[in-house]
Structure 1
Amino acid sequence: MFDIKWIRDNADAFDASLQRRGLAPQAAALVALDDKRRATLTALQDAQSRRNAASKEIGKAKGAKDEATAARLMAEVADLKDTIARGEDDERKLDAEIKAALEVIPNLPRADVPDGADETGNVEVRRVGTPARLDFTPKQHFEIGEALGLMDFEAAQKISGARFVVLKGALARLERALASFMLDLHTSEFGYTEVNPPILVRREAMFGTAQLPKFEIDQFWALSGIQFFDMGEIEKRSASKTDPQIAFQIAREAALEAAKGLIPTAEVPLTNLVREQIIDEAQLPMRVTAWTPCFRSEAGAAGKDTRGMIRQHQFSKVELVSITTPDASLDEHERMTSCAEEVLKRLGLPFRTIVLCTGDMGFASQKTYDIEVWLPGQNAYREISSCSVCGDFQARRMDARFRPKDGGKPVYVHTLNGSGLAVGRTLIAVLENYQQADGSVIIPDALRPYMGGLTKITAAKT
């Protein structure tokens, strides 16, 4: 979210950065809207000043027994009262219009982000590990899991529909082992504090991390029955209390406003831990991590990865979030990315790290590294982590600031987030990279303490 004053003072740079993202210039239209708001505010202040002056003149006129002048001034004050009411209404509408326009503008890319229209413009930064040469035709993870009898998409379909899975036995334990391993690594070696946050969040929290308003359709929302049938709320909102269709629509709108969102990632509750706060600089950097279920509608992913666990409505992820000062955020971005990479190194999984171009980076990001793990079954690298620095973009939406240690007024914090890692996709990578010709899967050394000493996953006994 941007400060309209900053846009006014940096109009050319603002438009140039939007152009790098493939967007049309917007500074002139935003400044014109702000000019209109400013003119309305000036007229409103003038009217308020004149009303105050006229009110004083009324007293003087009455004291002088000049009833004609007093009557004229009283009529003027009445007119000014109406003018002020209209001006206040216009100001509120213009404020809302400017706010709505600013809310859907993405963050501006850093100068060192490569230009590009889509993923073809991404640039590889480094490659770690060499994909193993298997002496048999590698299978994809869902073929391995189903053959083991431990990955059941059919049962999940009956229970919840498409894009869900049931993991059983050793695979269920493997997912838990991966999450525990990641949390232990991040908390014991990398200084993150483990958090167990809510997975249902208010709309304000979704707005703070920029899931709203632009990506509302991509979220899952929880509505309670009482929200749908709160007749008191309907009566307050509805001019017609007798039309059932109108009443239902009013109830539906009220329910959506009160709905809580299922988190698409723990970035939402973790980043919002500092919302509407002013914290001391001595508390920074703040590093937190959480393992949570995540929920995404995948509304924009029709037809992509329809088989298997790559793209699911529900999945689990270990999230990393950092809150820093502006001066430290870029170094923190490199550090966070290295923490995520270390998980793959410890698991012996080949990967590459790329920097996303301007046309492929996320809405709230200034710069993003994607880490892609090698999947033999697909003969391709696939994303397993995305680490982004957001600058003060989210902080402005959350009103999250810090108090500098050397004094001065509070400053907006910088926020960062990254997957450390997506647990389901890491399970996929383990299955495909450690698969054996007989269909079994070797468990990486780093995970064996979490698997009760189990070294190999074999087909479930029927």
Structure 2
Amino acid sequence: MHDIRWIRDNPDAFQERLRARGIAAAEVSSTVKKLIELDDGRKAAISKAQALQERRNAASKDIGAAKAQKDEAKAQKLMDEVSALKGELAAEETRQKDAEAALETELAQIPNLPLADVPVGTDEHGNVQKSISGTKPTSNATKQHFELGEALGGMDFETAAKLSGARFVVLKGEIARLERAIGQFMLDLHTTEHGYTEIAPPLMVRDEVMFGTAQLPKFADDQFKAMPTEHWLIPTAEVPLTNLVRESIVAEEELPLRFTALTPCFRAEAGAAGKDTRGMIRQHQFSKVELVSITAPEQTADEHERMLAAAEAVLKKLDLHYRVMTLCTGDMGFASQKTYDIEVWLPGQGAYREISSVSQCGDFQARRMQARCKAKDGKNTRFVHTLNGSGVAVGRALIAVMENYQNGDGSISVPSVLRPYMGNKEKIGVGK
């Protein structure tokens, strides 16, 4: 959510940053004009209501004076005026609330503004490589994960389709255990080495919580809703973790707050028809380890790099080849100011695929959640900043391990850091 006062004070900067996101100049200009008109209407309603209230207060005092002078005619006239003013005031207060709601609705549709150092581009082709880790592996064993998983009897898409339809999978045996091991390894890494506090959050949340992290109202079609309670199934643990500070004031000396959770995630993927229909790349249900930080504004840039390093540490310990991309203005998420994507190399696909997205959101989500921090002097409050990142997606990490650690006989070697979670097995699928 944006600050209408900042928009009014900085209309050119606001429009320039929105145009950088690829929004047409005419649309940007029209949006700003509409925002100003709505805010003018809100201000006019407030001013009128204040004037009516002041006149009502004055008339009420005059009633007492008229009665003291035994001027009943004047007192009655004033009482009639107060009664009329009451109705006018109620109407003006309603007009003010309607104007505020209309302004909030319009502001809620506008994406966050990219930072000045974000590369300008229209889509993924405008992304810029920040770094690359290791060398691309070469191997004659280049089956895709679903070929390996089905051959081992550990991935059953057919039964999943009978149970739930497309974009689901049933994992079995050693593959199911390997996925669980990956999730536990990542959760342990972030809590013991990176200073994150483990949270077990609800998997269903209310409308206002989804609004707080900007899944609503714009992306309602990408979500799953649970009936009859009308809770939303979380698309990522970012939603409940970030909202842990909603409608609260945190002492600045307590910041940054760092949370992590391993949860199932649920996404309708309404905009992904026809993409990645084979395998586990794009599922309606998947597991992910999420990282969330709540910071003071001055801490945000450093925290972003720290969070990226925490996510990278997972892939480094798994000895997976990957690259980090700085997303361009046209490829960032709605709530992001700046985003790094980590793309892991999948030899079965012969391509890099996203396995983590690490974003800073500034005060964009905090304004929607009404989450503030209080300065050390205890006098002033300001909105916190929020950051989130995958640390990392468990299903895609499973895919990466399977494809990068596959052997010619169809078995899969277990990375050394996962063996303690796998009963010290060095391979799975041996003899299959």
What CA deviation, in whole Å up to 9, does each residue of 1:115-164 have, x standing for no partner? Answer: 1111111111111122221125x111111100111100011111111111
Partner of 1:344: 315
What CA deviation, in whole Å up to 9, does each residue of 1:12-37 have, x standing for no partner? Answer: 11111111112223333212211111
Instruction: Please say if residues 40 and 87 of structure 1, whose CA atoms lie closer than 8 Å, have aligned partners that are also in contact.
Output: yes
Partner of 2:138: 133
Given candidates 422, 426, 437, the residue that maps to 2:393 is 422
Partner of 1:18: 18
By how many angstroms is 1:452 displaced? 0.6
Partner of 1:320: 291
1:48 to 2:53 alignment: yes
Partner of 2:194: 190
**Distance of 2:140 and 2:9 partners within structure 1:** 63
> What SS does the aligned partner of 2:216 have?
coil
Partner of 1:86: 91
1:77 to 2:82 alignment: yes
Given candidates 288, 301, 305, the residue that maps to 1:334 is 305
What CA deviation, in whole Å up to 9, does each residue of 1:195-224 have, x standing for no partner? Answer: 111111122211111111111121111123
Moved more, 399-408 or 273-282: 399-408
Instruction: Please say if residues 11 and 28 of structure 1, whose CA atoms lie closer than 8 Å, have aligned partners that are also in contact.
Output: no
Partner of 2:150: 146
By how many angstroms is 1:56 displaced? 2.8
By how many angstroms is 1:185 displaced? 1.2
**Distance of 1:353 and 1:319 partners within structure 2:** 18
**Distance of 2:69 and 2:296 partners within structure 1:** 64
By how many angstroms is 1:65 displaced? 4.3
1:353-392 → structure 2 map (5 Å cutoff) = 353-392=324-363
Instruction: Please say if residues 394 and 415 of structure 1, whose CA atoms lie closer than 8 Å, have aligned partners that are also in contact.
Output: yes
Identity of aligned residues (%): 64
What CA deviation, in whole Å up to 9, does each residue of 1:404-443 have, x standing for no partner? Answer: 2244312211111100010000000111111122211111
Give, as a single letter, the amino acid of the residue that structure 2 aligns with 1:8. R
**Distance of 1:90 and 1:120 partners within structure 2:** 47
By how many angstroms is 1:174 displaced? 0.2
**Distance of 2:45 and 2:246 partners within structure 1:** 31
By how many angstroms is 1:287 displaced? 1.2
**Distance of 1:340 and 1:63 partners within structure 2:** 77
By how many angstroms is 1:73 displaced? 3.1
What CA deviation, in whole Å up to 9, does each residue of 1:103-122 have, x standing for no partner? Answer: 11111110000011111111
Instruction: Please say if residues 287 and 320 of structure 1, whose CA atoms lie closer than 8 Å, have aligned partners that are also in contact.
Output: yes
Instruction: Please say if residues 147 and 459 of structure 1, whose CA atoms lie closer than 8 Å, have aligned partners that are also in contact.
Output: no
**Distance of 1:164 and 1:459 partners within structure 2:** 26
Instruction: Please say if residues 372 and 382 of structure 1, whose CA atoms lie closer than 8 Å, have aligned partners that are also in contact.
Output: yes
By how many angstroms is 1:399 displaced? 1.5
By how many angstroms is 1:78 displaced? 3.1
**Distance of 1:421 and 1:214 partners within structure 2:** 25
Partner of 1:110: 115
Alignment size in residue pairs: 427
1:167 to 2:168 alignment: no
1:38 to 2:43 alignment: yes
Instruction: Please say if residues 127 and 351 of structure 1, whose CA atoms lie closer than 8 Å, have aligned partners that are also in contact.
Output: yes
Give, as a single letter, the amino acid of the residue that structure 2 aligns with 1:223. M
Moved more, 397-406 or 63-72: 63-72
**Distance of 1:67 and 1:189 partners within structure 2:** 80
1:164-243 → structure 2 map (5 Å cutoff) = 164-224=168-228
Partner of 1:9: 9
Instruction: Please say if residues 287 and 323 of structure 1, whose CA atoms lie closer than 8 Å, have aligned partners that are also in contact.
Output: yes
Instruction: Please say if residues 148 and 460 of structure 1, whose CA atoms lie closer than 8 Å, have aligned partners that are also in contact.
Output: no
**Distance of 1:450 and 1:71 partners within structure 2:** 84
**Distance of 2:207 and 2:73 partners within structure 1:** 56
> What SS does the aligned partner of 1:45 have?
helix
**Distance of 2:246 and 2:76 partners within structure 1:** 52
**Distance of 1:288 and 1:79 partners within structure 2:** 55
By how many angstroms is 1:71 displaced? 4.1
Give, as a single letter, the amino acid of the residue that structure 2 aligns with 1:221. K
Partner of 2:238: 267
Instruction: Please say if residues 309 and 428 of structure 1, whose CA atoms lie closer than 8 Å, have aligned partners that are also in contact.
Output: yes
Give, as a single letter, the amino acid of the residue that structure 2 aligns with 1:209. T
**Distance of 1:183 and 1:411 partners within structure 2:** 31
1:423-442 → structure 2 map (5 Å cutoff) = 423-442=394-413
Moved more, 422-431 or 20-29: 20-29
Instruction: Please say if residues 149 and 459 of structure 1, whose CA atoms lie closer than 8 Å, have aligned partners that are also in contact.
Output: no
Given candidates 247, 258, 270, the residue that maps to 1:287 is 258
By how many angstroms is 1:459 displaced? 6.4
Q: Which runs of 5+ in 2 are unaligned?
A: none
Partner of 1:58: 63
Give, as a single letter, the amino acid of the residue that structure 2 aligns with 1:69. K
By how many angstroms is 1:55 displaced? 2.8
Give, as a single letter, the amino acid of the residue that structure 2 aligns with 1:89. T
By how many angstroms is 1:11 displaced? 1.5
What CA deviation, in whole Å up to 9, does each residue of 1:54-82 have, x standing for no partner? Answer: 23333433444444434443333333222
**Distance of 2:70 and 2:376 partners within structure 1:** 63
**Distance of 1:58 and 1:179 partners within structure 2:** 73
Give, as a single letter, the amino acid of the residue that structure 2 aligns with 1:147. A
| Residue 60 to residue 433, structure 1, CA distance change in 2 (3 Å) | same
**Distance of 2:376 and 2:73 partners within structure 1:** 63
> What SS does the aligned partner of 2:332 have?
coil
